[in-house]
Structure 1
Amino acid sequence: MSGNEFRFFLSYDINLPVTFRIERLEGSLPPVEFPDSGIDPAAEERRAELYVECVLCMDGAPFGLPMRTRLETNGSAYCWNELITLSTKYRDLGRYSQLALTVWDVSHGKNEGLIGGATIPLFNSKLQLKTGKQKLRLWLGKVADGSFPTTTPGKVPRHERGELERLEKLLNKYERGQIQRVDWLDWLTFKAMEKIKGLESSKTGSSHLYLVVDFCSFEHRVVFQESGANFVLPSPISSTNELVIVWDPEVGKINPSEHKQLKLARSLTRGIIDKDLKPSNNERKSIQRILKYPPTRYLSGDEKQLLWKFRFSLMTEKRALTKFLRCVEWSDVQEAKQALELMGKWETIDVSDALELLSPLFESEEVRAYAVSVLERADDEELQCYLLQLVQALRFERTDKSRLSQFLVQRSLNNIELASFLRWYVAVEFYDHGYTKRFYCTHELLEENMMKLQAGPDGEDGFKLWQSLVRQTELTAQLCSIMRDVRNVRGNTQKKIEKLRQLLSGLLSELTYFEEPIRSPLAPSLLITGIVPSESSIFKSALHPLRLTFRTQTGGTSKIIFKKGDDIRQDQLVVQMVSLMDRLLKLENLDLHLTPYKVLATGQDEGMLEFIPSRSLAQILSEHRSITSYLQKFHPDDRGPFGITATCLETFIKSCAGYSVITYILGIGDRHLDNLLLRDDGRMFHVDFGFILGRDPKPFPPPMKLCKEMVEAMGGAESQYYTRFKSYCCEAYNILRKSSNLILNLFHLMAGSNIPDIASDPEKGILKLQEKFRLDLDDEAAIHFFQDLINESVSALFPQMVETIHRWAQYWR
């Protein structure tokens, strides 16, 4: 956009209801007095129950009925995060429209305690609609005044604004896309802002109370225009030849004449004559090209018309069903009815395509029910590969007890692993207020049906099975309590380890031997009977994660890592993808010895990981100088290559190839020698997936995450073993490209999740993933492309490119 270009919408043209989100309160609540009831000695023990009353005022008078949020009682951080939609539309707003917001407390019975109120105008001094987050200072003890001018303005006076207010204003612009995003620089900036926020709060110690409101944003600015008035430019146009560009608000909307023509064409080709139509040679080529489109590709009007025209001849082509259903004009009752009839007669689609029909693109309940009927053909092992995404798909269902929800519950009743993971995946989503009811209904349905079971999958009755799953939650709560106590211990890591073992052996000795076995959250088929204090420890890091050794009922042990204070849902997703890709490769008889260790998020900032005995490459290189020397220690063979057994070297080469391809496809960043681990048998694997889909905190990341120490362990870039490595890479890449639709569909279902690198820009992230598959290439061209990619990465690791070496060496450090 040039400096002289100003694109905007007119408020009179926006035929949408006024929408905004009440987010949270910031600050400490004042004491509320009730003169009628006197002083209640238990008042301090009660939690305040707050709601926000929202009144739209036009020209100083209330307009329409007031709206109220739900009651919020969640401790000191009152967070509603609730979307409010008024009956008034933007086109009906006046120049002096204001929003009056009042916070009430109902925790003291019938007497409603007034906390305070604030008023905010919807248009600024430049006649532009306010968008993004607004921080309003409440007038304590006053009801929000909607008159004009108001006596309770929410805007903080200029002389009281500090550095924090200025940064929040910039953050608001950033979230609206008015400031360019630079991932690594943004991360540093946000970190600095947190420090400033902490300093400001400690300095001021302000008793003010603030309400944060998030107004709806549009593609362009919205400028006020009264009904029937002509828009006047704020400044007269000079008499020069300067070109003034005005944004046309109808750009991007459906062309009415084109839409009418399309409907007429559909009505003519909806009759009996369509059944005998056969595509010509050119039309057949066009249809085949469309069927090869990835699920993320939008279809043009001509492409939709082509598929509709030859729908009857395409019924034997199962790949065509999802594309055909995207062509249907679902608002047309007759067309929708015919489409559903054809769907029932179509060649049954694959499970991977059924996942596409559960995406937010398809709202028809019949279509989504058909997708579930296809999923019923999948066995439990395959279903578990997609369970995380199927739980996310519940967001897009139109009813709380949908066909998908009932299907997931019914399948879980016969498989304890499915039941356990379903319960955890659903429980973690409870914090998302927009879908709490939908997820809670599934949780309630699972509990209700399991309690009715006479005999479960392991012979236990339903009540005992459900209780064993509930005890998993109790166990994680106790582990969180232990972590808090351990973190409060002053001193080095050894003192914290001593405290941990002391707690497990003393105050919390019930954790050493459980009264009844508990199903392991990571592997529900495994029964654990207690923690071994002497074999439990703490990792030396900022969050002090626990490394716990559990006894199993069979007499063995199970080691897990428990983290608190870190969101591991992104790690959970990546490891699930590694496990899925490992399965896809093995189905093609290619075992690359991957290590898809188990990960389970048990909350927003807590979770468990399977502990795999291994050492980081950084540690190995500091102690053994090379990977080869380390492997010689465990698998020596004087006759083998580099003094290592051929089996061990082959395992190392295959695992390097597998993870090189997977980390490239998923765009995994922040790779360094501390998060590349090596097992004693030669298996190399990656951990810590804080950056995916192309994000990386360091500048100049290499295209492939392949460090020179790995290449040296294969004998260098000229060795036969390195050639074998490249061969495995290319073979794996082409196998995974065949399943690109499945992987893209799974990520599309995650678009509504709160996983950081997906939630920031779901559409952009999925397109980045699609780009990595290079679907425009055939298999042979893809091999050449991937070989060039490897060569480009490896050539920079050797002396002929000094500057690139320095750049990428800095990355690996």
Structure 2
Amino acid sequence: GQRGMKCTTRGWQAGESYSDCLTQKQCCEVMSHAQSFPLFPALGEMESHMFECVNQAAVHEELEDETRRLCDVRPFLPVLKLVTRNCGRAERLLDSKIGVLIGKGLHELDALNDQEVKDFRCKMFRISEERMQQIQMMTFSEWVQACYSPQLEPAAVTAITAGVNDAPADLKVIIHFDQSQDSASLKVSLSCTPNELMEQALKKWLTTHGSEDAVWRGQYILRVSQCLEFLGGDHPLIQYKYIRSCLQAKDTPHLTLVHTSAVKTMFDKEISAIGAVVSRKSSNPPLPLPPKRRAPTTCVWDVPKPFRIVLVKGSKVNAEETAKVQVRAGLFHGTELLCKPAVSNESSGRSEHTWKDNTLEFEISVCDLPRMTRLCFAIYAVMDKVKKQKSTKNPHINKYQTIPWVNTMVFDYKGQLKTGDIILHCWSSFPDELEEMLNPIGTIQTNPYTENATALHIHFPEYSSHPIVFPPFDKGRGVKKFYMELKEIMERDPVSQLCENEKDLIWTLRQDCRETFPQSLPKLLLSVKWSKHEDMAQLQALLQIWPKLSPRDALELLDFNYPDQYVREYAVGCLKDMSDEELSQYLLQLVQVLRYEPYYDCALTHFLLERAQRNRQIGHFLFWHLRSEIHMPAVSVQFALILEAYCRSNIPHIEVLKKQVEALSKLKSVNELIKLGTIKNTRSKTKEAMLTKEAMMTCLRQSGYSETLSDLHSPLNPSVLLSDINVEKCRYMDSKMKPLWIVYNNKLLSGDTLGIIFKNGDDLRQDMLTLQILRLMDLLWKEANLDLRIVPYGCLATGDRTGLIEVVSSAETIANIQLTSSNVAAAAAFNKDALLNWLKERNSGDALDRAIEEFTLSCAGYCVATYVLGIGDRHSDNIMVRSTGQLFHIDFGHILGNFKSKFGIKRERVPFILTHDFIHVIQQGKTGNTEKFGSFRQYCEEAYLILRKNGNLFITLFALMLTAGLPELTSVKDIQYLKDSLALGKTDEEALKQFRQKFDEALRESWTTKVNWMAHNVAKDNRS
């Protein structure tokens, strides 16, 4: 319907109705109304004005993009303010687009009175302009490789030619010709390259179309028919993921020969868009040059005085008037406490607090402070019973009272020791969530919600008349001995604790570590006395000559335990050897460890931006991993700065991503409409479903929705083009948050459809992590020549409790398969033939044998994966089977052994799901088929041992996610489950014995699992 808007320009208001108006139309109408006012000439040109509103996130948003509809803007109140901007229109439009795209207006960043933010943005502006100039110099083939690069399997994986025993020697490929309806069938070798395949296809084309077309030779490019993925490079066909997936599914690959002129049109459009921006920027004044003469400074190592701070006051401290309030402060390097915490006197009062003897002195000299020292505070009220002052033990506090805490760096981003007054607005946590009540792993950003936050006013004293700065590195040298003891220490897992004697030994033998155990660098770093600046200097020198680690080993050095700038720069240097495919595998963790970076301008940020600029697929997922958490106050500014830098260096990508953001906003509106409809119609479920689905379909057909939701790249996979919605096939799902089941037509392949599930109200980040780990397990198994047919479907968190899930085609839940074969829900779970019969209906002869083999392999893979990861809440509704036989799991709401319980008792007593009907399929329906079941058991054991060999990698990846805010991954204790399930610290024989016991236990308990499934089937009969 229509809605009244108040357009204000310095006090003047005019009511105006709108439905689907563009902001451009509204601006014209306001200026037209304003002509009747005496000061109209003072307004100036219409082009120099734009609207501003307060959006749904309570943030001022500038509406520079006049093509946006007001219903898409969704202002919080029907009020628009006309404002003037001084900079040019083109710059305003770009700023506005970036602000809308990243979810944070750039004027908010402009308004921050933070020199670090200003310096970082200034540097990124310069780098982005250089990057745009580099893109302008790209050749067409380089551009295709950067924007539409194919997905490749690692070269090692190609040893498994097709992953099945009966893999064909030759590959049958259907080639479509883009400029006609013709197609051709070719048989080529699996080792054939795309260029060789193209040459054969063109020869076949020329035999039927005559030699006059011979001039087109060399002017084609090979594309996967169903998506925007071009097969370039000299890799064998078997290495392309699309080709492998077709072989595994026994499908014939469909490729399309596209004339390069069609793709060059896209290339020219992007280059011209960049040209307009770069030429505009070149007219801007150059950045100011740094001063030639540097001010005199003092080296921090020349200041032997004890480090101290002054507590000025605490305000808005939520404590009773009779309570005694204390401040505890600790100096940390990573998680290592550098010296005993300092504790203030007690102070009384309700809100405002000051402390006598307000100087806190630490038992460490300024000269021994590491570059990345964190100063961590906690403010707490002491119970009356305890009178001990300045105790470093945990005092008796009210565990139900939240504790304000806050962290800050001792050195600023330039390496200068902080001086002067500073106000720290605190965060809150409960005491049992914090060790020693201090939270060194927490953010160094202060709470942006200052109105109600506890504030701690502190003063950093001066120790010198000149600024005190951290120096460059020095050199050091160790000695050699105790080889065997060192070897044993080096083989431990990443979260094992080292005793002081072991740390001393490692530090003494640091040169031996470099020469013999280069992968031991993380343990050496944990052995450094960070409170001794001589040791720090020696370590920095050692890093200059330390051999490069493999990228997988280097990941551990980005953990919170390794905050040193030189260490992190060394780790990033190792990551530069990663291929794009490998980087994509670990991108989720690399984004999360940005939280550990205390300064905006760091090596990891530059590395991620550089690789994202080189490969648009990486850029796409970097954007969404950052954008999905922009609402989190602790990372909002940091992630916004990185997103802005990415957008400015990838101008053509802005429109592509903007379209996705707008589409997701529309889907959220549809979901909210459905939730509202189901609440209103709770009396009649049938009537409710009919009315609400009708409303959903009507909504999707509206032009404002259909246009926004059409012709966009899928956020789940940017090479997939979602052309238009097949409204008749869309529906909403009958779970609490009413997820949307959206079906798209595939524009590139006629008759093909693609399904996505939009969720609003569920946090998909844990699912995303679990699926990423499943993808890694699949890769590790393939590298060891074991393909277990894992189905790690797409899943992407896109915002605050919103996200998308890929629909796996031709798949059904175990529950629905069982219920379809039985008229009684209670009996369905006990029908052991249901699953095998379902596969028989869809496969016959050799195809059935292949389907059973697919089922056996995938069942083994998921049995091992669910056991190792402790995936809970497994029932017949979240285990699915494809018609090809592949079994796979969905919905990973409980991991690391956090199983659902009822009446305080864990519902699942078995390590993984292994029911009689699964065994019935594995044994091909023959009760005594021990050979097939023996193969299944062997697959499980082999898969388990492969994961054990890579146990440290899994520990590292979960440790890197500790600050992501996932409810079931908050401390090192949660990772202990992985250590136990992988039996790290035991021999392979001991670990295999433990696994076999769990396997036999699952086998014995299969009847209990069936009873649980029966109860689930009765409670939730899904038959439509």
TM-score by length of 2: 0.52
Aligned residue among 694, 700, 706 for 2:897: 694
CA deviation map 1:118-164 (0-9, x unaligned): xx99344435765556499xxxxxxxxxxxxxxxxxxxxxxxxxxxx
Q: Distance in 1 between matches of 2:613 and 2:993?
A: 48
Aligned residue among 870, 876, 884 for 1:667: 870
Aligned residue among 390, 414, 417 for 2:617: 417
Q: Distance in 1 between matches of 2:530 and 2:431?
A: 37
**Contact kept in structure 2, 1:359 and 1:748, CA below 8 Å:** yes
**Contact kept in structure 1, 2:663 and 2:709, CA below 8 Å:** no
State yes or no: 1:561 paired with 2:767: no
Aligned residue among 483, 494, 506 for 2:671: 483
CA deviation map 1:620-678 (0-9, x unaligned): 112234211111111123xx7xxx72211110000000000001111000001111111
**Contact kept in structure 1, 2:383 and 2:398, CA below 8 Å:** no
Q: Per the alignment, in what secondary structure is the counterpart of residue 431 of structure 1?
A: coil
Q: CA deviation at 1:601?
A: 0.5
The farther-off stretch of 349-358 and 541-550 is: 541-550
Q: CA deviation at 1:486?
A: 2.1
Q: CA deviation at 1:296?
A: 0.7
Paired letter, 1:426: L
CA deviation map 1:520-545 (0-9, x unaligned): 10001222222221222222222221
Unaligned runs of 5+ in 2: 1-75, 81-107, 109-310, 318-325, 331-340, 354-378, 387-394, 404-428, 436-450, 457-474, 682-686, 822-830, 1019-1024
State yes or no: 1:766 paired with 2:969: no
**Contact kept in structure 2, 1:512 and 1:530, CA below 8 Å:** no
State yes or no: 1:636 paired with 2:844: yes
Q: Distance in 2 between matches of 1:214 and 1:704?
A: 47
| 1:542 matched residue in structure 2 | 736
Paired letter, 1:616: T
Q: CA deviation at 1:575?
A: 0.7
CA deviation map 1:227-256 (0-9, x unaligned): xxxxxxxxxxxxxxxxxxxxxxxxxxxxxx
| 1:92 matched residue in structure 2 | 344
| Distance change (3 Å), C-alpha of 1:812 and 1:756 | farther
Aligned residue among 393, 396, 404 for 2:593: 393
CA deviation map 1:453-509 (0-9, x unaligned): xxxxxxxxxx22122112211111111011111222234334322222211113545
Paired letter, 2:312: G
Q: Percent identity over the alignment?
A: 30
| 2:202 matched residue in structure 1 | none
| 1:122 matched residue in structure 2 | 381
| 2:521 matched residue in structure 1 | 321
Q: Per the alignment, in what secondary structure is the counterpart of residue 969 of structure 2?
A: helix
CA deviation map 1:756-812 (0-9, x unaligned): 1113xx2111111111111233334333332221111102235xxxx8987898799
Aligned residue among 507, 512, 516 for 1:308: 507
| 1:474 matched residue in structure 2 | 662
Q: CA deviation at 1:361?
A: 0.2
Q: CA deviation at 1:67?
A: 5.3
Aligned residue among 578, 598, 603 for 2:799: 603
Paired letter, 1:369: E
Q: Distance in 2 between matches of 1:673 and 1:320?
A: 45
Q: CA deviation at 1:293?
A: 0.6
Aligned residue among 811, 814, 834 for 1:617: 814
| Distance change (3 Å), C-alpha of 1:327 and 1:174 | closer
Mapping of residues 126-137 of structure 1, within 5 Å: 126-127=385-386, 130-131=397-398, 134=401
Aligned residue among 577, 590, 599 for 2:786: 590
Paired letter, 2:740: L
Q: Distance in 1 between matches of 2:545 and 2:490?
A: 19
**Contact kept in structure 2, 1:416 and 1:525, CA below 8 Å:** no
Paired letter, 1:753: A
| Distance change (3 Å), C-alpha of 1:648 and 1:398 | same
Paired letter, 1:446: Y
Paired letter, 1:346: W
Q: Distance in 1 between matches of 2:835 and 2:928?
A: 16
| 2:312 matched residue in structure 1 | 64
**Contact kept in structure 1, 2:723 and 2:744, CA below 8 Å:** yes
| 2:718 matched residue in structure 1 | 524
Unaligned runs of 5+ in 1: 1-42, 50-62, 70-83, 102-119, 137-170, 178-210, 217-269, 451-462
The farther-off stretch of 604-613 and 428-437 is: 428-437
Paired letter, 1:302: N
| 1:349 matched residue in structure 2 | 549
Mapping of residues 15-34 of structure 1, within 5 Å: none
Q: CA deviation at 1:738?
A: 1.2
Q: CA deviation at 1:591?
A: 0.6
| 2:483 matched residue in structure 1 | 284
CA deviation map 1:209-242 (0-9, x unaligned): xx987999xxxxxxxxxxxxxxxxxxxxxxxxxx
| Distance change (3 Å), C-alpha of 1:86 and 1:310 | closer
CA deviation map 1:395-432 (0-9, x unaligned): 11121121101110110012122111111111222232
Q: Distance in 2 between matches of 1:687 and 1:408?
A: 30
| Distance change (3 Å), C-alpha of 1:561 and 1:290 | same
| 1:720 matched residue in structure 2 | 931
Mapping of residues 37-436 of structure 1, within 5 Å: 64-65=312-313, 91-94=343-346, 96-100=348-352, 122-127=381-386, 130-131=397-398, 134=401, 274-275=478-479, 277=480, 279=481, 283-316=482-515, 317-436=517-636
Paired letter, 2:987: D
CA deviation map 1:158-187 (0-9, x unaligned): xxxxxxxxxxxxx9788689xxxxxxxxxx
**Contact kept in structure 1, 2:790 and 2:888, CA below 8 Å:** yes
Q: CA deviation at 1:703?
A: 1.9
Q: Per the alignment, in what secondary structure is the counterpart of residue 559 of structure 1?
A: strand
Q: Distance in 1 between matches of 2:454 and 2:933?
A: 55
Q: Per the alignment, in what secondary structure is the counterpart of residue 630 of structure 2?
A: helix
Q: Distance in 2 between matches of 1:778 and 1:796?
A: 27
Q: CA deviation at 1:683?
A: 0.5
Q: Distance in 2 between matches of 1:374 and 1:661?
A: 31
Q: CA deviation at 1:443?
A: 1.4
Q: Per the alignment, in what secondary structure is the counterpart of residue 674 of structure 1?
A: coil
Q: Distance in 2 between matches of 1:340 and 1:505?
A: 63
Paired letter, 1:528: L
State yes or no: 1:440 paired with 2:644: no
State yes or no: 1:776 paired with 2:985: yes
State yes or no: 1:684 paired with 2:887: yes
| Distance change (3 Å), C-alpha of 1:121 and 1:409 | closer
TM-score by length of 1: 0.65
Q: Distance in 2 between matches of 1:784 and 1:812?
A: 35
Q: Per the alignment, in what secondary structure is the counterpart of residue 529 of structure 1?
A: strand
CA deviation map 1:58-115 (0-9, x unaligned): xxxxx9356589xxxxxxxxxxxxxx989999843336344349xxxxxxxxxxxxxx
**Contact kept in structure 2, 1:714 and 1:722, CA below 8 Å:** yes
Paired letter, 2:550: D
Q: Distance in 2 between matches of 1:85 and 1:598?
A: 47
Q: Per the alignment, in what secondary structure is the counterpart of residue 519 of structure 1?
A: strand
**Contact kept in structure 2, 1:291 and 1:320, CA below 8 Å:** yes
Q: CA deviation at 1:346?
A: 2.1
| Distance change (3 Å), C-alpha of 1:431 and 1:646 | same
Q: CA deviation at 1:553?
A: 3.9
Q: Distance in 2 between matches of 1:134 and 1:303?
A: 40
CA RMSD of aligned residues (A): 3.5
**Contact kept in structure 1, 2:842 and 2:883, CA below 8 Å:** yes
State yes or no: 1:748 paired with 2:951: no
Q: Distance in 2 between matches of 1:544 and 1:778?
A: 48
